[in-house]
Amino acid sequence: MRLADVCGNTSPESSPACPALLTATAADPDGTTATLSWTPFTGPDPSVPAGYVLQRVTATGSVLSTVSVSGSSYTDLTPPSDNQVLRYRLQISGAGLPAGTFSYSNLAVVARPVRLAIPTAFTPNGDGLNDVLEVKGKYLRNYTFVVVDRNGLEVFRGTQRSEAWDGTIRGHAPVPGAYVWRFQQVSEAGQPFSATGSVTILK
C-alpha cells in the first residue's frame, strides 16, 4: 500500500496488514458467561508475534477492565454483572507495529435478556412476610410497572426497584382480589420489552 500527499509525494510501500475480527456470543441462555473468538492480526512484520489484550468497554468506549489473551478464543467467566449489554474489543500490539502504538479490532456485543420476576400473590397484613409487591429481576431500569383493578383503574405505578406496592388504593386499605399488572421497558440494547400478568391480594 502506498500513500500520496497533496503534492504528489508517494510513501514507500508498506507491508500488508490484516485487522483482527472479533465475535462474541453468550455461552449460556442467561449470558452469565461469554465466548469470544477472533481472526489473527497480521502486522507489518508477520515474523513478530502479536500481543492481544481483551478489553471490556462501556457504551461510550471507556475501558472497564482488561485481560491478556492468546490463541484465537477466550471464555469470559466474569463479565460485568450489572450491564445487560456486554461490549468487547481487542487491543493488539507487536507484529511490527511501532512501539507504543496499537491496532484495535471491531467492537463485539452480547445482549443479555431482561429477566422479570413478579409474585402471583402477596399478603399486605402487616406481619412482615410478603407485605408488599416488588418488581424483581435483572437489567431492570427506566421501566413502567402499572397495576390496575378489575375495572381497569390504575391502583399503582412504579418506575424503579425501590418502589413497592403495599396494597393500598388511593390511601384506602387493601382489598383482597385479583389485579392485573403491565411491565414495559426499553432495554439497554434498545429493544422494547413488555410483559403482563396478574397478582392476587390475599388476607
- Kindly report the CATH number assigned to the domain that includes residue 100: 2.60.40
Average pLDDT value for residue range 21-34: 94
pLDDT at 179 over 90: yes
Residue 66 within a domain: yes
Query: 76 or 4, which is more confident?
Result: 76
**Count of domains in the chain?**
2
Domain boundary among 111, 129, 158: 111
In sequence order, which residues have a C-beta less than 8 Å from that of residue 116 and are 6 or more positions away?
135, 136, 137, 140, 183, 195
State how far the Cα of 59 lies from the Cα of 183, in Å rounded to an integer. 25
pLDDT at 16 over 70: no
Nearest CA to 51 among 107, 95, 105, 104? 95
Predicted pLDDT at 117: 95
Question: Domain of 153?
Answer: 115-201
Is residue 13 very low, low, confident or very high in pLDDT (cuts 50, 70, 90)? Answer: low
Do 133 and 121 meet the contact criterion of CB atoms below 8 Å apart? no
State how far the Cα of 40 lies from the Cα of 18, in Å rounded to an integer. 8
Residue 1 within a domain: no
pLDDT at 1 over 60: no
What pTM does this model have?
0.77
What's the pLDDT tens digit per position in 42-101? Answer: 988 888 999 999 999 998 999 999 999 999 999 999 998 888 999 999 999 999 999 999
Instruction: List the grid coordinates of 81.
Output: 454483572
Q: Are residues 104 and 36 in the same domain?
A: yes
**Least confident span in 50-54, 72-76, 188-192, 194-198:** 188-192
Domain boundary among 52, 78, 111: 111
